[in-house]
Chains A and B, each alone.
Chain A
Amino acid sequence: MADREFNMITLSIDTKTIQVPPGTNVLKAALDNGIHIPHLCYHHELSISGGCRLCLVEVEDQDQPVPSCGLTAAEGMVIQTQSEQLTELRRGVLDLFISDHPLDCVVCDKAGSCTLQEYAYEYGLKETSYEPTVSSTLFQDDNPFFLRDHQYCILCGRCVRVCDEIVGVHAIDFANRGFETNIATPYDGPMIDSTCVFCGNCVQVCPTAALMPVSRLQGGREWDLDRTISVCGYCGVGCEIEYASKDGNILYAQASEKGPANGPFLCTKGRYGWDFTTSPERLKHPMIRRDVAFDLGLTEEPWELPDTSPLDIRKPKVDEYFVPVDWDTALDYVSSQLADSVKNHGPDSIVGLASARCTNEENYIFQKFMRAVIGTNNIDHCARL
């Protein structure tokens, strides 16, 4: 079998010789090799925009600096990413960015993870040298998941591109033109009426405070939050999530960016469906129904299961119906009941229902248990229901 070999391109960036596959743009080549070039609109998973004008580099034998995101690496290319001219140009561009941006980093929740703030610091921009403007004061708080505060929006377009290219629902796009441009849903309708699936990928790729999770607001400074890397429990993809929490309470969840299955993206369940962790209804230990508990001699009072009509959808209070027990008691009871059923009615009297919430390993053991221990092929999964 023939080996497929790339003819790697060799180029020099800041005198460092690096090799990249053909078709790689110079910005990616630099970032992948630990060379820092400021950029706001570029994202490694999205198409190229070229709008922020920050990633300018100097190319040998060319007079004018060019945006490195739009420059395809060529053999023998010699690139400079730092120079007096480039610093001045980048500073000028950032000055224009912050001229149309509220400079309230002191109280802004994005402080610490805001890319604009990072570059303002790097280029020593305390304030703008131009007349401050506010191109948009639109504040949209129309859904429980994320906030759209347009005064912070720098129109990098990452949110539009992620919605188009990764999620594929095209819920938002640029509206109007020039200084009046803003990101909008069709006809400015509420988010819930658009095709938005509330996956929040736009929130994650947003470099500023324009898109923020509602749960996060005023919950603490970015650098004060605890970060826990985990795997999402909702489905078999197993996306790697980073939970940001304070004092044990989750403030927001985002992709850890390193998960092999999901990279920097999540779906709405992983990103916003974590409130079950602190739900009062969450089971923390095994429980046995009161009437059975009484029969087992674990409680002193007899109890009867109330007659409830199937139309009664009121959820029973867990404490009212169940008694907490230790694992041994619980497992003894379950195994004895299962064994009885197998003995009296045969192995096929039992069905096992697995869950996407379990890991692959757990589901594997479960079906092994059903087939080898119980002796039945009656096994199904919530995905089929």
Chain B
Amino acid sequence: MSREKLDQIAEQERARQSQFDKRVHCCVSTACLSAGAGSTIQALRDSVEAAPAGDKVEVVQTGCMGLCSRGPLVRVQEKSGEEVHYADVDSECAEELIAKTVSWDQGDEKPPELSPELKTVRERLETARKKRSLKKHVLSPDLPFFTKQFKVVLRDVGYVDPEKLEDYLAHGGYQALHKVLTEMSPEQVCDEMLGSGLRGRGGAGFPTGLKWNFVRREESNVKYVVVNGDEGDPGAYMDRTVMEDNPHQVLEGMMIAAYAVGANHGYFYIRAEYPIAVGRIRGAIRAARRRGILGKSVMGTDFSYSADVRIGAGAFVCGEETALIHSIEGKRGVPRMRPPYPSTSGLWGKPTLINNVETLANVPAIIKNGAEWYAQIGTEKSKGTKVFALAGQLTNTGLIEVPMGITLQEIVYEIGGDVPGDAEFKAAQTGGPSGGCIPNTHMDTPVDYESLQELDSIMGSGGLVIIDSTTSMPEFARFFMDFCVDESCGKCVPCRVGTVQIRTLLDKIIDGRGEPEDLDKLDALCKLVSSVSLCGLGQSAPNPVLSTLRFFRHEYEALIPCSA
């Protein structure tokens, strides 16, 4: 389908949306769903159907609005653009919300015939009009949780209906792809990526433009793009959210990348534990195919592209690029040595570009607004924004997107609202099982790739766990080592046996059976495993232990009976 036709659809959708006085967005992303958003959205829909002038209000299923700890979240958007956010919206609150949103003045209009069920809903709505509890649910837009964020990746998440391509088009979707296909050469696209300073958001932080150029320069008539949607870090759900809540954004980024490197086919590798994401991406692929955005002639140009979904099978190690490739090939998901790098020899031996979901989700905005625009956000070496899954012992947990360089102080105290209760903030852990803990003595640490590395941690994929004074750091480290023991693929002995031995030492110390020399032994073993392991999993598995030994050694020493 040509650009003109797609623009028409976008225009039609915008027109359709503008006929409503109010649009009620209800988050049905995984976190809010588990908080009961399924009932909430049903109640909203029933209420709108039962209410007077309900046809002036549209209930829209959308994605994550960020403050997941207060879900289900609902937003009422006026035609003027004004917005009010509501938190903890159960079905009762939903009814009150609709009751207070619709216009009860029907004038001469005859009320429609309602079914018995809707009649009872109508009755409840009439009672709800007099209730006064809705105000308690309102989230002020001045909350630092909102004001301190800067949305690029998540800009349309929570606004678009992830199951409607028309909505994505109405929000300007696929314009970047069209620009790339009709106005830019592959080299120019790569240059734009280089200029933006975008770095891999999966954790390694490799310059995206550089990686694209490596693949672009390979000579092969078959190349692949792979989207790494394995997101294995416990507690991290940035990629899940983007895949669930704006799948077309990832698809568009993937296609721009494919054009830039010369690939005509690609795969989404999505972990099996994300069935909603799998469904949404598959739906997006189908819809895009139907509208000629995927296929032999993308949007009428001579670029052809097709994409498929491959589902994981419960292995964290398959987030590692070579293990991921083996998994797609139907082999055991075990890493191999590099070189050769996937850019030279990847999927089925062909040059392959593998990028993280969040990395690709940045691409359309970079193309639309330009590399300079993106490079203005963030710091000198870490451009752009980062999506974090803020979790742990914190008041406001959820999904946030902040400019690189924001301090830990701002995240924990302002956005996060500090640690609840009497406990005090002790440390922030970044990078999941591969990362380290930043203690509360380093609150002015800017969150960027280099600063975190200096403190023996990593940016990681975006998991940010807040730890308070009631948590034991050795036990915290052991949790992640348990994880690595479970997830080790078993190919190389330092990871397979080394992680077990590290955990045994941690158990010994935590159980009070530790001896004074055990800490040095632990340190030496961690360094051995780090330096000799075959892949990133083993190389970074000791990080939580090494980090807590560096900053919280006193907690370990306190557990050892006869230490000096």
* A contact face: mostly helix, strand, loop, or mixed: loop
Chain A: minimal CB distance from B320 (Å): 13
Interface 9-residue window, one of B142-150, B400-408, B446-454, B490-498: B490-498
CA distance A121 to B493 in the complex (A): 19
Interface presence of B129 (CB below 8 A): no
Question: Interface stretch among A43-51, A349-357, A374-382?
Answer: A43-51
Q: Let me know if B336 is at the binding interface, CB within 8 A.
A: yes
Closest chain B residue to A85 by CB distance?
A: B531
Decide: B488 and A179 in contact? CB cutoff 8 A.
Answer: yes
Given contacts A130-B525, A135-B497, A178-B488, 11 further A-B contacts (CB under 8 A): A49-B491, A50-B337, A53-B532, A93-B532, A96-B498, A96-B528, A99-B501, A133-B500, A177-B489, A179-B488, A179-B497
Task: Choose among B487, B491, B498 the residue with the greatest number of A CB atoms under 10 Å from its CB.
Answer: B491
Q: Assess the B486–A50 pair: CB atoms within 8 A.
A: no
Chain B proximity of A3: nearest CB distance (Å): 29
Interface centre among A51, A89, A133 (most CB of B within 10 A): A51
A 77-93 binary contact with B (CB < 8 Å = 1; else 0) = 00000000000010011
Give every chain A residue within 8 A of B497 (Cβ-Cβ).
Answer: 96-97, 99-100, 133, 135, 179
Tally of chain B residues near chain A (CB < 8 A): 31
**Residue pair B337, A53 in contact (C-beta under 8 Å):** no
Per a CB cutoff under 8 Å, which of A92, A131, A176 touches B532? A92
Query: Is B381 part of the binding interface, using a Cβ–Cβ cutoff of 8 Å?
Result: no
Contacts of A65 on B, CB cut-off 8 Å? 531
A270 within 8 A of B: no
Task: Tell yes or no: A149 within 8 A of B by CB.
Answer: no
* In the assembled complex, B485 has its CB within 8 A of some CB on chain A: yes
Asked if B332 is an interface residue, CB under 8 A from chain A, the answer is: yes
- Is A239 in the interface zone, CB < 8 Å from B? no
Contact with B along A46-61 (1 / 0, CB 8 A): 0011111100100000
A173 touching B332 by the CB < 8 A rule? yes
Pair A174/B332 contact, Cβ less than 8 Å: yes
Q: Which of A50, A100, A157 sits near B534, CB closer than 8 Å?
A: A50
Asked if A131 and B490 make an inter-chain contact with CB atoms under 8 angstroms apart, the answer reads no
B492 & A181 in contact (Cβ 8 Å cutoff): no
Residue of A nearest to B488 (CB): A178
User: How far is the CB of A68 from the nearest CB of chain B, in Å?
Assistant: 11
CB distance from A38 to the nearest CB of B (A): 13
- Within 8 Å CB of A176, what residues of B? 490
- A residues 231-251 near B (Cβ < 8 Å) are none
Chain B contacts to A: CB under 8 angstroms? 315, 317, 332, 334, 336-337, 339, 485-494, 496-501, 504, 521, 525, 528, 531-534
Q: In the complex, are the beta carbons of A178 and B490 less than 8 A apart?
A: yes
- Please, which residues of chain A bring their CB within 8 A of the CB of B487? 177-178
Most A CB contacts (10 A, CB to CB) among B315, B336, B497 go to B497
Would you give 11 A-B contacts (Cβ < 8 Å), ordered by A?
A: A50-B336, A50-B492, A50-B534, A53-B494, A89-B532, A97-B497, A133-B501, A174-B490, A177-B488, A178-B489, A178-B490
Asked if A64 is an interface residue, CB under 8 A from chain B, the answer is yes
Which listed residue, B337, B496, B501, B533, touches A181 by the CB 8 Å rule?
B496
Number of interface residues of A (CB under 8 A): 35
Task: Tell me whether B315 and A177 are in contact (CB under 8 A).
Answer: yes
**Given known contacts A51-B491, A52-B492, is B501 in contact with A179 (CB within 8 Å)?**
no
Among the listed B337, B521, B531, which residue makes an inter-chain contact with A48, where contact means beta carbons less than 8 Å apart?
A: B337
With A64-B531, A70-B337, A177-B488 already in contact, the answer to whether A96 and B493 are too (CB < 8 A) is: yes
SS class, residues of chain B in contact with chain A:
helix
Does the CB pair A96–B501 fall under 8 Å? yes
Across-interface contacts of A97 in B (CB, < 8 A)? 493, 497
A154 in the interface, Cβ–Cβ < 8 Å? yes
List the 3 closest A-B pairs by CB distance, nearest first.
A181-B490, A178-B488, A70-B337
A70–B337 Cα distance when bound, in Å, is: 7
Asked whether B485 lies within 8 Å of A178 as measured between CB atoms, the reply is: yes
- A179–B495 Cα distance when bound, in Å, is 9
Residue A67 lies at the interface, judged by CB distance under 8 Å to chain B: yes
B521: chain A residues within 8 A (beta carbon): 129
Query: Is the Cβ of A53 less than 8 Å from the Cβ of B489?
Result: no
A147 in the interface, Cβ–Cβ < 8 Å?
no
User: Which residues of A lie under 8 Å from residue B315 when comparing CB positions?
Assistant: 177
How distant is the Cα of A242 from the Cα of B500 in the complex, in angstroms?
41
- With both beta carbons as reference points, the residue of chain A lying nearest to B532 in the complex is identified as A53
Q: Which residues of A contact B504 (CB under 8 A)?
A: 130-131, 133
Does any Cβ of B come within 8 Å of A155's Cβ?
yes
Chain B CB within 10 Å — which of A56, A179, A181 has the most? A179
Smallest Cβ-Cβ distance to A95: which chain B residue: B528
Name the contact of A155 in the complex, choosing from B337, B496, B525 (C-beta under 8 A). Answer: B496
Report the nearest A residue to B495, measured CB to CB. Answer: A178
Contact at B501–A51, with CB atoms within 8 Å? no
A-chain residues with CB within 8 Å of residue B492 when the two chains form the complex: 50-53
Distance (whole angstroms) from the CB of B342 to the closest CB of chain A:
15
B493 in complex: contacting residue of A133, A154, A174, CB < 8 Å: A154
Whether B490 contacts A155 by the Cβ 8 Å rule is: yes
CB-defined contacts of B531 to chain A, threshold 8 Å: 64-65, 89
Contacts known (A56-B532, A89-B528, A89-B532); A179 close to B337, Cβ less than 8 A: no
Task: For the complex formed, measure the closest distance between the CB of A294 and the CB atoms of chain B, giving whole angstroms.
Answer: 70
| Chain A residues with CB under 8 A of B490 | 155, 174, 176-181
Q: What is the CB-to-nearest-CB distance from B57 to chain A, in angstroms, rounded to a whole number?
A: 51
- By a CB distance below 8 angstroms, the chain B residues around A130 are 501, 504, 525
By a CB distance below 8 angstroms, the chain B residues around A178 are 485-490, 496, 499
Q: A92: which of B336, B499, B528 is its contact (CB, 8 Å)?
A: B528
Chain A 253-291 interface mask (CB, 8 Å, partner B; 1/0): 000000000000000000000000000000000000000
Docked CA distance A97–B532 (Å)? 13
Bound Cα distance from A135 to B489, whole angstroms: 14
Contacts of A174 in B (CB 8 A): 332, 334, 490
Closest residue on chain A to residue B501 by CB atoms: A130
- Inside 8 A of B339's CB, which chain A residues have their CB? 70, 72
Among B486, B488, B490, B525, chain A packs the most CB atoms within 10 A around the CB of: B490
Pick from B317, B493, B501: contact of A131, CB below 8 A: B501
The residues of A that contact B534 with a CB separation of less than 8 Å are 50-51, 53
Question: How far is A307 from B228 in the complex, measured between Cα atoms in Å?
Answer: 79
Measured in the bound complex, the distance between the Cα atoms of B317 and A67 in whole Å is 21
Closest chain B residue to A50, Cβ basis: B337
Residues of A with C-beta under 8 A to B332: 173-174
Partner of B496, one of A129, A157, A179: A179
Cβ of A343 to closest chain B Cβ, rounded Å: 70
Q: What distance in Å separates the Cβ of B193 from its nearest Cβ neighbour in chain A?
A: 28
User: Roughly how many angstroms separate A51 CA and B489 CA in the complex, as a whole number?
Assistant: 11
CA distance A129 to B493 in the complex (A): 15
Tell me the chain A residues, 141-159 only, with Cβ under 8 Å from chain B. 154-155, 157
Neighbouring B residues of A56 by C-beta, 8 Å: 532
